[in-house]
């Protein structure tokens, strides 16, 4: 009979294999082609992904959602946006009529969409020349939460600025500045930016204040 550990290993390997197959391929040496997903997340993380990558740990099949949907008949083809000598390459999950759809997983219900998802969708609307966009979050219990957006020029200009910054830093081999966020704790480069992850000694607040019971 298969043990729990063997089952977990098989599942982990399956998720990693499928994830590698669905992942958008980035040529780390082609610094004149910047992918949209690189500039709508932490630039330092994108820089390390190209210069000295660590493999990301995938925790479940829901993380593969976006890649799986791109394989369906409504999945879009990649599209490039020219910025002088730089090419910004994007790929939407799904395009229907004049709307772009992005699908993301969520741990629970959200009151607002994630900022990086908004940046990504907004840029896609400009690159694919669409006026409307929708982000669909799917929770672990299969509940759908949707947010509708209209494209914003200033937001797209900020994305373009980040494209140029990443391109310059890759040319100069300079590490981007820290962009602290709630994503940092799960990032594969956490220890490069902050400190080594390890279990620390438990500290009692009452002990620090000198009020701990000594009986």
Over residues 168-180, the pLDDT tens digits come to 999 999 999 999 9
Helix axes 43-51, 153-172, angle to 10 degrees: 40
pLDDT at 3: 46
d(Cα 123, Cα 163) in Å, to the nearest integer? Answer: 12
More confident of the two residues 184 and 11? 184
The Cα-based distances of 68 to 18, 134, 137, 169, 195 in angstroms read: 9, 18, 15, 32, 35
Residue 71: band (very low, low, confident or very high) from pLDDT cuts 50, 70, 90: low
The CATH classification of domain 4-195, taken from the options 3.30.1490.190, 3.60.15.10, 3.30.300.30, 3.90.320.10: 3.90.320.10
Over residues 198-208, the mean pLDDT reads: 59
Confidence of residue 133 (pLDDT cuts 50, 70, 90): very high
Angle at 90 between CA 84 and CA 92, to 5 degrees: 150
pLDDT at 2 over 80: no
Residue 105 CB neighbour total at 10 angstroms: 16
Q: Which residues contact residue 88 at a Cβ distance below 8 angstroms, ignoring those fewer than 6 apart?
A: 34, 35, 36, 39, 80, 81, 82, 123, 127, 160, 163
In the chain, what is the straight-line distance between the N-terminal and C-terminal CA atoms, in Å?
51
pLDDT at 122 over 80: yes
Q: Check whether 210 has a pLDDT greater than 50.
A: yes
> Which of 82, 83, 102, 99 has its CA nearest to residue 91?
102
User: Which pLDDT tens digit goes with each residue over 21-35?
Assistant: 445 678 889 999 999
Instruction: Provide the pLDDT for residue 130.
Output: 93
Does the structure show a pLDDT above 60 at 93?
yes
pLDDT of residue 65 exceeding 70? no
User: What does residue 177 show for φ and ψ, rounded to 5 degrees?
Assistant: -70, 160
Report d(CA 22, CA 66) in Å as an integer. Answer: 9
Higher confidence at residue 160 or residue 139? 160
Alpha helices, H only, 151-204: 153-172, 190-193
The larger pLDDT score, comparing residue 26 to residue 111, is at: 111
Average pLDDT, the chain: 81
């Amino acid at each position: 009979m298969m043990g729990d550990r063997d089952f977990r290993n098989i599942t982990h390997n399956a998720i990693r294999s499928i994830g590698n197959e669905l992942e958008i391929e980035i040529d780390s040496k082609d610094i004149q082609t910047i992918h949209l997903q690189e500039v709508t997340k932490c630039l330092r993380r994108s820089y390390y992904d190209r210069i000295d990558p660590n493999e990301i740990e995938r925790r479940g099949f829901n993380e593969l959602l976006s890649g799986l949907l791109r394989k369906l008949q409504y999945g879009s083809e990649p599209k490039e946006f020219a910025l002088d000598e730089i090419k910004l390459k994007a790929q939407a999950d799904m395009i229907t009529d004049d709307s772009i759809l992005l699908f993301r997983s969520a741990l629970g219900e959200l009151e607002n969409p994630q900022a990086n998802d908004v940046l990504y969708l907004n840029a896609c609307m400009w690159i694919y020349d669409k006026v409307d966009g929708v982000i669909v979050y799917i929770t672990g219990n299969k509940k759908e939460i949707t947010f509708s957006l209209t494209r914003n020029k200033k937001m797209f200009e900020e994305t373009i600025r980040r494209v140029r910054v990443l391109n310059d830093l890759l040319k100069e081999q300079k590490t981007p500045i820290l962009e602290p966020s709630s994503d940092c704790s799960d990032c594969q480069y956490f220890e490069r930016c902050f400190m080594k992850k390890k279990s620390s000694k438990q500290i009692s607040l009452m002990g620090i204040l000198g009020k701990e019971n000594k009986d």
